[in-house]
Each structure stands twice: as C-alpha cells, then as structure tokens.
Amino acid sequence: MDLRLGAAVPATDEERAAIASVLGPPQTGWDGGQRQAADGHVAFGGHAARARRHLLIPVLHAVQERIGWISPGALDHVCERLTVPPAEAYGVASFYALFRTAPSPGAVVHVCDDLACRVGGAEQLCEQLTRRFGAEGTRAALNGTGVTWQRSPCLGQCDRGSAALIQHAGADPARVGLAPADPDSIWQALSAGLSAGPPASPDRPLVPQITNPVSRTLRLLRRVGQVDPGSLGSYRAAGGYEMLRRAIGLGPQGVLREIKDAKLLGRGGAAFPTAIKWEAVTANPVRPHYVVCNADESEPGTFKDRVLMEQDPYALVEAVTIMGYACAAEQGYIYIRGEYPLAEARLRHAVEAARAHGFLGDDVMGAGFRFDIEVRRGAGAYIAGEETALINSIEGKRAEPRNKPPFPAQSGLFGKPTAINNVETLFCVLEILRIGGPAFAAIGTENSTGTRLFCLSGCVERPGLYEHEFGITLRQVIDAAGGVTGGRPPRAVLLGGAAGSFVGPDALDVPLTFEALRAIGATLGSGVVLVLDDTVDVTDLLRRIAQFFRDESCGQCVPCRVGTVRQEEVLARLTRHAPFRTIDQELALLDDIGSVARDASICGLGQTAVTAVASAVRLGLIGES
C-alpha cells in the first residue's frame, strides 16, 4: 500500500527539518519506517513507525514552533512517517488549544481572562490590547511575522495576574510567561525577542510563603528560594538525593511501608491513598511498569506545582526516581502543561544534569537499578490533567479520558501498569522519607496528614503560595496572607478552583481537612483559595466558570457535553432575572444536570462541572455585586 496522503502542498524543507528534529532523519528499510515505492516516491510505514506514534505531540510542537501553525503539508508528512491516518492526526492537532491548524502570525499572545485575573482586572487588559493590537484574533504588524492576541483560561500565574503567555515561532522559537502583564510589558517582550530564561538562576521574584504559625516549619517549600534551581550541586548541598539514598536503603517495600504509615493522600484533587496505587502497580506481574508525574496543573486558580517545578526542579526529578524505584519501573514521564515554559526548561535541565551525574540511567547511584525520565509538554487542554486523558496524550492521542476500570495501575500507559501522581504528592514523598512515615502522619489531623499548599489569590493583601498543616482554618489561611484587601470582610471564597465550590463567611472557621470540608459539601481540590469581597461581580465569575467547562468538556459523554451548555443557559436566565422561572426551579434544574452528569459521565470534569455554580446560587451570590 502506498502511504502517500496527497496534501495539495507538500511539506517544505523547513517543515521536514522540524519533523526530523524529533523523529530523526528518515531511515531506509521497513524497520526504519521508510520504503521506496515503485514509482521512486519515498513512503513510510511498518511496525517501527507505528511504535513511534507517541511522538506525535512532540513532533506537532516542533512544527508549530518552527512555522507557527500545523500546515496540511507538514501534517501529511508526519502521518507518513508515523503511519497515522491523517484524519486521526488532524483530530489530535485540532484538539489542543495551543496548536493552530490555520495560518497564524509568528507571535501569539495568550491573555488570561480567568477567575483570579478577572478579579485583578483582566477585562481592562483585554480592552487595552484591543486598542494597541486590534481586536482579539486579528493580526497586527510585528517584525514582519505579525502578532495576534487571544483570551486564555488560567495560565497558572494567578497570584500575579493579569497573566499572559507569548508563543513566538521561527528558527529561534520561544515561549515566555508574563505576570503581571500590561500592553507595554507585552510589547517589550515581543520586540526584544523572547527567551524562557536561563535555567541557571531564579529570574523572577519569589512568591511569599508563610508557614503555619504554629509549627513555623516549611516542608514542601523548604528549598524554594534557598537553592539555585539550575544547579545540581546547590540541590545536593541542601540535602538533595539523600532521600533517594534512603529509599534504596529501605528497598521498594520499605518505601511503600513509609508511605502507608504516613497515610498520604494524593494532592491532585481526588485525595486517593498513594500507597494503594503504588502497591497495585508493584504487585502487578505485567511488565514493564511506568510511572508518571501529573504536572498538567490547569485547574483555574492553581499555581503550586509551577512554583515547585520552577524553584526546586531537582526535587521533582528525585521524587519521580523514588517513585520509579518503588514501583519497579524503568521509565518515568513528567507531563507538564505547555503554558509553563520556565518550569519546563528547568526540569529538562535538571533531568539532563541528573543523567550526566548517574542519578538517572542504567545504574542509578550505583545501586543496580535502571531508571530514566522523559519530560513531555502538553498543548493546552484542561482535561489532559485527568489521569487517563493524560496517558492518552502521552501516547499521541486526543486527551480524552478512558473508562475506568481498568485503572492505570492495571492498564495504563501503553496498556501497562502505571502509577500516576501529582507534583505536590511527590514532594510529600520526599518529606515522608526525610522524617519517616509515622512522623508525617503526626502532622495535621488523623485523616488529613502532613502539610498542604494553598494558592491564595483574589482579594487578599499578599496573594501567593502558602504551606500550612492540615487543620488550619480558612480564616487563619486568609489572615496569614495579610487578610482581605483593605481590611474588608470576605463575602465568599472559592475553594478548590472551578471544580470546587463557593463557601460563605460561615465556613471561615471550618478546619481545612479532607473530612471537614466533605462534611460541608466542599473540597480543597488542588488547593485553590480565591477570596472575594463585596466589590467583585460574582455573576461575571460564574459566567466564566460555565464558559470554561463548556470549552473544556472533551465531548465524549452527552450529559457533560450538553449539560455544560445548559448550565450556561441557566446562568444567563438567572442573571437576566427571567420571570418565568424561580431561582428554586433553576437550582432544581442545575441539580438535575449535575446528578445526570455525575451518574453518566466518564470523568470528574462532568461530575463537578455544576458544583461551583450551584454552590453560588445556594449562597445567594447571583446577581449581587
């Protein structure tokens, strides 16, 4: 079969070079994935080519970085080389928000208009950009390549919004995050040429962190600001790689025992016991095993994992290595969202340095086990943070969640047993090994052990990342961040992000633990604490939440796909005060949508899509400002 796909315009030399930068030069012979067709045309295919399907997203990134979009010619050439049907590859390219499948200016500015940035004035920034660069999506002149701007969901810089991300295509491509961003700083970044920043030194101000006033001990943030994130030597001088040494001393079962004793629950949102997951993978006789770190962090209002990765990247590399050791895996992946260029650059640098010094590779620390890590970049999809969607994304597919069971520990990446954990969870593993499982369990409360990272944003005096022991109250968390801006009383707090819920002032003294929040129908989720005072237009925030879920639903399940649209309609009616329905009727409809989505959706997105809006309606936040 001739695999020529017949794009009207074949791939240019530039596009072929970009593709080869990931796939290497075409090899001859079927095993190399290339053959000579009868008419002399070079075609590709075979098992070897198909086995590299997982490189589809990295190769699409390479094309887009070089020419600014995924052209049909380039996509055809990718399909030939990887033996992917063109319709499927197009389905992947068009799924992710950071990929463009139509010609685009060389520079694209993504401007966050999500929750925290809205509170901080994102709409004003959008108006200023319209005046400076023209309407959203139009092209303005810039160094011959052009520039356009577009709105974006949360960029993970909520403590310093309004935030922006600039993608710059060309021979010297770059991405850079700006926060706070204004038209001048954006223009300066565009004209000066961009750089993700050298990984050798911290090039941005540190976020404020304040420990729990009771213990005054930072655990997960202990090295932030104390080590040079670009230096393995600096990390080692601060005790780096001592935990891996300890893990090797304990052996895989010993590590599992410590984590079990610590009663560690995952920090990615679902609060699942880490030890159960790792044990299930370890005990699975199928080989190989994989471990994955979920660094997709796209929940609006969340930026904790970014800070950890930007400021302490070696710690994550060490923690993933411990995870691989405990789970008998030889390969690990860190899947990081595409909106985190600085964190990605530092992680890649850390992985290379760890490999060069024997902390990754065939004989890790001379202890006789093999382990390596690959950093994979996401491409703009909130749903890719759901663990099975993330697995699909690493495999080069659309980030659509899978049905569970089978769970990743049974059949995960490439159909093999896979453990997957959040960045913060893995930082907890380091702390558990440092102080021991029982000591970790003694911190916090009986069922919520250890410390937790809180992402403070909105109307607080000192937005930023804070570490506190579980059990601290919401009031104490807000006070530790300087209190509500201007000393005003808080009107409501969004806990857990868009997938979380609003709580009112009556919840200020509830201890922040998994169990206490569950009891009041709330969740800590990814640690978001978005504080709102009486100057904030909550209805506007709710509209943004509804739009977010409508945009981010992957569309596989009807209740989620349709329910998220219905939710927007309910909100529109409520905010127009439509006379033919009462608030109770609208609430009942939201409950209906929510319960159908909970029962009939594959994943947590559909199951939580109406929670925040319904909680706001219950608190009477609609229409007031």
Residues that bind ligand FMN (CB under 6 A): 266-270, 272, 274, 294, 296-299, 383, 385-387, 420-422, 425, 603-605
Closest approach of Cβ 60 to ligand FES, in Å? 25
Cα 49 off chain centre by: 29
Q: What residue 158 binds from ligand FMN, ligand SF4, ligand FES, none (CB within 5 to 8 A, per partner kind)?
A: ligand FES
Among the listed residues 70, 82, 115, 166, the single contact to ligand FES using CB under 6 A? 115
- Of the pair 181, 420, the CB lying nearest ligand SF4 is at 420
Q: State how far the Cα of 422 lies from the Cα of 428, in Å rounded to an integer.
A: 10
- Classify strands 418-422 and 501-503 as parallel, antiparallel or unpaired: unpaired
Q: State how far the Cα of 152 lies from the Cα of 167, in Å rounded to an integer.
A: 13
**C-beta atoms surrounding 176 within 10 Å:** 18
**C-beta atoms surrounding 615 within 10 Å:** 20
Binding stretches for ligand SF4 (CB under 6 A): 383, 401, 553-557, 560-561, 601-603, 605-606
Q: State how far the Cα of 180 lies from the Cα of 467, in Å rounded to an integer.
A: 23
Q: Does 112 bind ligand FES (CB under 6 A)?
A: yes
Closest approach of Cβ 349 to ligand FMN, in Å? 22
Q: Does 465 bind ligand FES (CB under 6 A)?
A: no
Closest CA to 434 of 601, 217, 132, 181: 217
Binders of ligand FES among residues 117 to 156 (CB under 6 A) are: 117, 154-156
Show Cβ contacts of residue 623 under 8 Å, excluding neighbours closer than 6 positions: 539, 574, 575, 577
Q: What residue 112 binds from ligand SF4, ligand FMN, ligand FES, none (CB within 5 to 8 A, per partner kind)?
A: ligand FES
- Of the pair 31, 569, the CB lying nearest ligand SF4 is at 569
Length of the chain: 625
Q: What residue 296 binds from ligand FMN, ligand SF4, ligand FES, none (CB within 5 to 8 A, per partner kind)?
A: ligand FMN
- Of the pair 281, 610, the CB lying nearest ligand SF4 is at 610
Specify the stretch interacting with ligand FES by CB under 6 A; choose among 113-121, 137-145, 225-233, 424-432: 113-121
Q: What residue 163 binds from ligand FMN, ligand SF4, ligand FES, none (CB within 5 to 8 A, per partner kind)?
A: ligand FES
Q: State how far the Cα of 570 lies from the Cα of 556, in Å rounded to an integer.
A: 22
Q: What residue 602 binds from ligand FMN, ligand SF4, ligand FES, none (CB within 5 to 8 A, per partner kind)?
A: ligand SF4
Show Cβ contacts of residue 530 under 8 Å, excluding neighbours closer than 6 positions: 115, 116, 119, 158, 301, 457, 458, 493, 494, 497
Q: Does 190 bind ligand FES (CB under 6 A)?
A: no
- Of the pair 458, 563, the CB lying nearest ligand SF4 is at 563
- Of the pair 328, 384, the CB lying nearest ligand SF4 is at 384
- Of the pair 284, 526, the CB lying nearest ligand FES is at 526
Examine residue 489 and say whether the peptide bond preceding it is cis (omega within 30 degrees of 0). Answer: no
Closest approach of Cβ 417 to ligand FES, in Å? 34
Map residues 262-301 to x or -, x wherever contact with ligand FES holds by CB under 6 A: --------------------------------------xx
User: Under DSSP, is residue 1 helix (H, G, I), strand (E, B) or coil?
Assistant: coil
- Of the pair 307, 384, the CB lying nearest ligand SF4 is at 384
Closest approach of Cβ 427 to ligand FMN, in Å? 10
Closest approach of Cβ 125 to ligand FES, in Å? 10
* DSSP-assigned letter for residue 52: T
Closest approach of Cβ 14 to ligand FMN, in Å? 34
In b/e form, how buried is each residue of 86-116, taking b as 16+ CB within 10 angstroms? beebbebbebbbbbbeeebbbbbbbbbbbbb
End-to-end Cα, the chain, rounded Å: 65
- Of the pair 73, 606, the CB lying nearest ligand FMN is at 606
E strand or H helix that includes residue 531: strand 528-532
Q: State how far the Cα of 10 lies from the Cα of 28, in Å rounded to an integer.
A: 20
- Of the pair 267, 566, the CB lying nearest ligand FMN is at 267
HEC string of 286-343?
CCCEEEEEEECCCCCCCCHHHHHHHHCHHHHHHHHHHHHHHCCEEEEEEEECCCCHHH
Q: Which residues bind to ligand FES, rule: CB under 6 A? A: 112, 114-117, 154-158, 161, 163, 300-301
